[in-house]
A and B are shown apart, each in its own frame.
Chain A
Amino acid sequence: MAAPLLSVRDLTVRFRTDEGMITAVDGISFDIAAGEVLGLVGESGSGKSVTAKALMRLNPGNTDYAAESRIVLHTEGSDVDVLALKRARDLMVVRGGAVSMIFQEPMASFAPAITIGDQMVEQLLLHTGLTKRQARAHAVEMLGRVGIPDPNRRIDQYAFEFSGRMRQRAMIAMALSTGPKLLIADEPTTALDVTIQAQVLDLMLGLVAEMGMAILFITHDLGVIAQTADRVAVMYLGRIAETGAVRQVIRHAAHPYTRGLLNALPNIDDPAAPLVPVPGDIPSPLERPAGCVFHTRCAQAIAGLCDVQVPAPVAIAPGHAAACFALAPAPAPVERPA
């Protein structure tokens, strides 16, 4: 494989709070290749959004990145060490330049008192060499490409004048207009109805394939991942439990958490199958379990091992790895989760 577009190594993110340090992401590593769709799936509190925000350095001021954490963006000619960036001007490359983001709630992502067009033009002026006139023409073109009717008129409207679906489309247009190399989509369709979700996913994947960019697709919905991603990383309480090609992970899930998630998930193609809940509750972030973070809910947990030691990723198949002691009694750690 050619050099990845983005490499994340040993990323640990903690938040300083009144109750002490809270670990949100705990030593995760992954790569995204150019043009690849990587799904990051997990329940609430798994750290998937914090991971995404770390890539753009959007986490709040009380965030603490561990010293060994590295996020490297490989662009033409130069490598950008994202966590070392300091000045706002240098951060522009990961904030709308080479990396762009689509959020869950499109209403909150547009300034309410500035027209959609002015917001799109502003970022084009910041990130590209276009003149104001060219930027406006490009913004109109992008709005048209995402299927907004009459873009010449709609561009001068405000976010509140768009319906939820139109707003989500406008946000996609805005995120893609600067031609980023990596698009981060954080639950982009969770607030939408299924029929609209299907439209938005089609649109997003079509444009991304056309423009050749990579996507980090964050969602709690394994069905959406099965339909969109090339590879998937399953997160639980800040760690990656399992990673691999989508088909491989869904058909041959190895980690007890991934299997539990698949058994708990209502599958419309097999409604007669019983729903098996994952026992117990997700622990509070203040009471992070020692050892394997999943051991408190795992039926296969081995006392004295899983509650003490952190399991390393074990290779299951090429590109497919899971971090669980039950998979290999004498774990042979793989180099890196590919």
Chain B
Amino acid sequence: MSVAPGGEHPIHVAIRDLSVHYPLGRPLFGKPPMVRAVDGVSLDIPRAAFFGLVGESGSGKTTLGRAILRAAPVTAGHVTYRDAEVEYDVASLGKVALRDFRRRAQLIFQDPYAALSPRMTVRDIIAEPLEVMKLTASREETDARVRKMAARCRLNLEHLRRFPHAFSGGQRQRISIARALVARPRFVVADESVAALDVSIQADILNLLKSLRDELRLTILFISHDLSVVAHVCDMVAVMYLGAIVEAAPAHMLFAQPRHPYTSALFSAIPSLDPDRRGQAQRLIGEIPSAANVPPGCRFNTRCPFAQDRCRVEVPAWREVAPGHHAACHFSDELQPLLYARAPGAAPG
């Protein structure tokens, strides 16, 4: 159900009230308990953004990324994908439209060791999406596009004949990226794409993703648990906790002045490189509750050092606390001076 759009909409992917619920086991009687992995998320991802999605393990960030790509079953809500040519309601795509959507939206995996078939040459790995989706007319055309994308991802042409076992983690991740981008997608979900790499290599992959975003005008949803990495590469950031987005803002605003206690706690938990800043952190108590048993009211209330009675009853509204800066906290304004900022005065971009 594609519609002819008029020009490029500034929002590439719009998510509205999106939920992914899984039943937990199959009890003999009654309804199974539901795991609310993603629970009523609304989010706008602007075109050509390097959009960070952060949260602890169990926050639902991977499930959200997959639901946007229709790689996880959507229980309720909508994902609208718009580019210059098409507009799709991702959750209700037919077979033909889904195939077209798969070309436009791709996923880069976390583990570059598991994501590449050991029996295929690098050339065949990168060419596979083109062949499966029948995007090229001849083998020559396929080869030309594979070589072009490999060069963009800084792989040597001689690498194309080899098998993936001959490569280091950083090179494998470059192969993985070339494979994801060879069909020229407009939107890419990068799920923990540098988490498995050593720091001396990680910076190289981050810089590559940034330059590819600029050259190919990609929109990247960058899922990560590492806030330092996100602070360096992303221009927009959304913070997820237990299936819901608790705060979203341009990166420089979020790091300079968080408006949700969870964001603040995450920031303060990151070990500083400065040995003179020891022991200055706010500590969160306990751990993330199970998504099958989401606390009533504000879902963060069981761990929030500022929680009041109201937080245990009433779900906080998602509101704009500053221009372009949204948060879901009853006391966002009152708490502002108490929240822990990282990198105050950091330059935008």
Give the interface of A toward B (CB within 8 A): 43-44, 163, 165, 193-199, 201-202, 220-224, 226-228, 246-247, 250, 260-273, 275-278, 281-282, 297
Contacts and interface: CB of A to CB of B under 8 A. Distances in A.
10 contacts: A228-B271, A266-B226, A269-B272, A269-B274, A271-B343, A275-B203, A277-B201, A281-B168, A282-B168, A282-B200
Contact of A247 (B272, B276, B283): B276
Contacts of B171: 281
Nearest to B283: A198
Nearest to B204: A277
A271 B232 contact: yes
Contact of A271 (B199, B202, B231, B278): B231
B158 interface: no
A281 B269 CA distance: 31
Most buried by B among A44, A228, A271, A273: A271
Contact of B273 (A165, A196, A265, A272): A265
Contacts, number: 142
B293 to A, nearest CB: 13
Contact of B271 (A226, A260, A263): A226
A223 B346 contact: no
Nearest to B344: A269
B57 A193 contact: yes
A276 B232 CA distance: 12
B155 interface: no
A293 to B, nearest CB: 14
B200 A268 contact: no
Contacts of A267: 228, 273
A43 B56 contact: no
Given A195-B287, A262-B273, A275-B203, 11 more contacts: A193-B288, A194-B227, A226-B271, A226-B274, A227-B277, A266-B202, A268-B267, A268-B270, A271-B255, A272-B346, A275-B207
B266 A195 contact: yes
B275 A227 contact: yes
B182 interface: no
Most buried by B among A193, A222, A228: A193
A221 B287 CA distance: 22
Contacts of A273: 232
Nearest to B55: A193
Given A198-B283, A264-B203, A281-B168, A223 B272 contact: yes
Nearest to B59: A193
B231 A268 contact: yes
Contacts of B198: 43-44, 220, 282
Contact of B203 (A223, A268, A270, A276): A276
A165 B284 CA distance: 13
B268 to A, nearest CB: 8
B347 interface: yes
B269 A195 contact: yes
B265 A268 contact: no
B287 A43 contact: no
Contacts of B229: 266
A196 B281 CA distance: 13
A273 B229 CA distance: 12
Contacts of B56: 193-196
A194 B203 contact: no
Given A194-B270, A195-B265, A277-B207, A268 B228 contact: yes
B68 to A, nearest CB: 23
A297 B268 CA distance: 34
A11 B170 CA distance: 30
Contacts of B281: 198
A242 to B, nearest CB: 15
B203 to A, nearest CB: 4
B253 interface: no
Given A44-B198, A227-B278, A282-B168, A275 B206 contact: yes
Contacts of A282: 168, 198, 200-201
A246 B278 CA distance: 12
Closest 7 CB pairs of A and B: A223-B271, A278-B200, A277-B204, A271-B231, A275-B203, A277-B203, A266-B228
B225 interface: yes
Given A268-B228, A272-B347, A194 B266 contact: yes
Contacts of A263: 203
A248 B231 CA distance: 26
A252 B269 CA distance: 25
Nearest to B168: A281
A27 B171 CA distance: 30
Contacts of A269: 272-274, 277, 342-343
Contact of A226 (B57, B202, B273, B347): B273
B20 interface: no
Given A195-B284, A226-B274, A277-B207, A270 B202 contact: no
A268 B199 contact: no
A199 B283 CA distance: 7
Nearest to B56: A193
B251 interface: yes
Contacts of B267: 268
Contacts of A260: 200
Most buried by B among A194, A195, A272, A276: A195
Contacts of B287: 163, 165, 193, 195-196
B277 to A, nearest CB: 8
Interface in B268-315: 268-278, 281, 283-285, 287-288
